[in-house]
Structure 1
Amino acid sequence: MATWLRRRLTRAYERMLRQQLGTAPAHVAIIQDGNRRYARQRGADAPDGHREGAETTEQVLEWCEELGIEELTLYAFSTENFDRPDDELDPLFDLIESKLYEFADADRVHDNDVRIGAIGDVERLPQRVREAVEYAESRTAAHDGLRLNIALAYGGRAELLGAAREVAEDVAAGDLAPEDVDADAVERRLAEHTTRDVDLIIRTGGDERTSNFLPWHANGNEAAAYFCAPYWPEFSKADFLRGLRTYESREESWRQSRTERAVALLRAVAGTELNDATAVAGRLRGQLPSAGAREVSAELERQRDSEPVESAD
């Protein structure tokens, strides 16, 4: 197939996917997997794959800005990655360092009010990378647009353990009462840059697992997950839009399930007393999307119409 025709078909497919989408998820998290395998497949070295993957990262940032996504978290370097050989780690650290400086100084980042923050055990990183993190965070600290979180030296269990230790220390010091230890107390001690629950996790490279990534903000929120085969350097806008479509399909199914449960509850209550059903319907309507609220109202009307009419003596 000619290149020009392939491009036209790709753009048409992207437009079709875009038209199928409604509201975008607020927070998307991506596991950027497959850089090394992509390089090996082409007879290149791992650093070459990481460099091409960095170009994909820039494109994804543009797509998020275009689609109105409010927060993007990228799994760039896990705690397990420290086990890789130095001849792979050093070029990777060089790339992370240079991209942080590049992003921090990019006009597009400032024009779109992108705020950059790192999550993870940043102190384990080389000094030059820590300085680049500090520079990127300070340069964009005043921005209030898209939040770009970069997970570096990150491990979800380690993050939760760190928060648990802080809670225990505060209780022991008398700064936190045991009865005040709740979800909010833990969340306040998690990574400062992750501001909201994750709606969608995307993983490239073919593996169908979330790899200890954001267990509190993603798994705790039962985030939708989209696993796709392309290696990260091959990840396309169409792949991204398919991931968003997965999220939207999950949300539609979830909303429908909530509506069905609400109507079933209303029917059960109506079996005893219509006044109780009216009160329950009022509460349910406030908790459901507009379509679900309308269905609850319709069910209540059906029950009212089916009420026997008492004849006057």
Structure 2
Amino acid sequence: MLEAVRRRVLRVYERLLERELSGAPAHVAVIQDGNRRYAREEGGEATDGYSAGARTTERMLDWCADLGVEELTLYAFSTENFDRPPEQQEHLFDLIESKLREFADREEVHDREVRIRAIGEVDRLPARVREAVDYAERRTAGYDRFTLNVALAYGGRAELLSAARDVARAVERGDLSADEVDVAAIEERLYRGPARDVDLIIRTGGDERTSNFLPWHANGNEAAVFFCSPYWPEFRRVDFLRAIRTYESRQASWRQSRAERALALVRSLGDVELVEARQVLARFRDALPGEVEELDGEDGQVAD
């Protein structure tokens, strides 16, 4: 009886959360932490946790499709995972291989036109996993409605170091001048990465760190970050909705800060033409309407 009531309350809360949301981030990245701890608490082996986490991954794809997310990046295997016991690595490789092939053949994947891509140092993976990557990418290469990135043998610091060394070598050879080193020069030397900058990072399992995950694509884009306590196998749709609410709050705060800076700039204008000030204010009128009105004259111009 108590469990039935709890489920009903959860469903109501989930509906309320969904009504509060005005949209969804275009690109969500997930650090799927807590699989092994979940298994230990359930009295099973670490491999049982990875299998349970894979089921959550399948549900996550459905949630993204329902809510309008356009790109999902999953941290499936980091470069640090190579330090784990061989039997755990082998189980993960088996799971990744089977899931890549399974996803590539799923009817829903083709109905929703999901493109599957692997990012990271894929050449470090066993041949069977590389073959599964190639199979999934070939099967879905023609799609562009939704992108699923699977981060395999991925490490953000290694990626940035590799790009920096490549730039240094190009400068040393004379192929690139120091003045030409810009964002584009770095980006073209990164691993093949996500199609979009990351809007929201989710980490399950209770730890509050991003663990070397997509530093160029996320932190540089001021991505929102949502840390939550459920282990990845326990992650629910309601948790995902709460993460999106955090993203929307972060975006609102960011717009507010920009609007406040714009208003401060306008207030400091002295001999700048008023028409230019009006153009600045117009961009942020919806963010801080009350304060903007205080700076408007009766004829719609900025009061000096």
TM-score, length-scaled by structure 2: 0.93
Q: Does structure 2 conserve the Cα–Cα contact (< 8 Å) formed by 1:277 and 1:300?
A: no
Aligned to 2:279, the other structure's residue is in SS state: helix
Q: Does structure 2 conserve the Cα–Cα contact (< 8 Å) formed by 1:281 and 1:296?
A: no
CA offsets per residue over residues 128-161 of structure 1, 9 Å max, x none?
0111111111111110011111111110001111
- Which is worse superposed, 147-156 or 191-200? 191-200
Distance 2:116 2:302 in 1: 59
Distance 2:227 2:290 in 1: 34
Flag structure 2 segments of 5+ consecutive residues without an equivalent.
none
- Which is worse superposed, 58-67 or 161-170? 161-170
* 2:241 partner amino acid: L
Aligned to 1:10, the other structure's residue is in SS state: helix
Alpha-carbon deviation of 1:26? 1.1
Task: Give the 3 Å change call, closer, same or farther, for CA 266–35 of structure 1 in structure 2.
Answer: same
CA RMSD of aligned residues (A): 2.1
Distance 2:302 2:118 in 1: 60
Distance 2:143 2:303 in 1: 58
Distance 1:226 1:159 in 2: 24
Distance 1:306 1:258 in 2: 19
Q: Does structure 1 conserve the Cα–Cα contact (< 8 Å) formed by 2:115 and 2:148?
A: yes
Q: How does 1:68-107 map to 2 (within 5 A)?
A: 68-107=68-107
- The aligned residue for residue 257 of structure 2 is 257
CA offsets per residue over residues 94-120 of structure 1, 9 Å max, x none?
001000000111111111111111111
Q: How does 1:212-291 map to 2 (within 5 A)?
A: 212-269=212-269, 272-273=270-271, 276-286=273-283, 288=284, 291=286
Distance 1:69 1:191 in 2: 23
* 1:58 partner amino acid: E
Task: Give the 3 Å change call, closer, same or farther, for CA 283–102 of structure 1 in structure 2.
Answer: same
Aligned to 1:291, the other structure's residue is in SS state: coil
Q: How does 1:59-74 map to 2 (within 5 A)?
A: 59-74=59-74
Aligned to 2:159, the other structure's residue is in SS state: helix
- The aligned residue for residue 18 of structure 1 is 18
Alpha-carbon deviation of 1:307? 5.8
Percent identity, aligned pairs only?
Answer: 61
Aligned to 1:220, the other structure's residue is in SS state: helix
Distance 2:148 2:163 in 1: 22
Alpha-carbon deviation of 1:82? 0.7
Distance 1:307 1:100 in 2: 62
* 2:14 partner amino acid: E
* 1:298 partner amino acid: E
Alpha-carbon deviation of 1:174? 4.2
Aligned to 1:292, the other structure's residue is in SS state: coil
Q: Which has the larger radius of gyration?
A: 1
- The aligned residue for residue 311 of structure 1 is none
Q: Does structure 2 conserve the Cα–Cα contact (< 8 Å) formed by 1:278 and 1:300?
A: no
Matched, 1:301 2:296: yes
Aligned to 1:44, the other structure's residue is in SS state: coil
Aligned to 1:225, the other structure's residue is in SS state: strand
Distance 1:191 1:108 in 2: 28
Distance 1:104 1:229 in 2: 31
Task: Give the 3 Å change call, closer, same or farther, for CA 119–306 of structure 1 in structure 2.
Answer: closer
CA offsets per residue over residues 55-86 of structure 1, 9 Å max, x none?
00011111111111111111111111111111
Task: Give the 3 Å change call, closer, same or farther, for CA 277–39 of structure 1 in structure 2.
Answer: same
Q: Does structure 2 conserve the Cα–Cα contact (< 8 Å) formed by 1:259 and 1:296?
A: no
Q: Count the aligned residue pairs.
A: 303
TM-score, length-scaled by structure 1: 0.90
Distance 2:137 2:23 in 1: 29
Distance 2:145 2:302 in 1: 53
Matched, 1:292 2:287: yes
Flag structure 1 segments of 5+ consecutive residues without an equivalent.
309-313
Alpha-carbon deviation of 1:92? 1.2
Alpha-carbon deviation of 1:87? 1.6
Q: How does 1:43-192 map to 2 (within 5 A)?
A: 43-192=43-192
- The aligned residue for residue 39 of structure 1 is 39
- The aligned residue for residue 203 of structure 2 is 203
Distance 2:96 2:106 in 1: 15
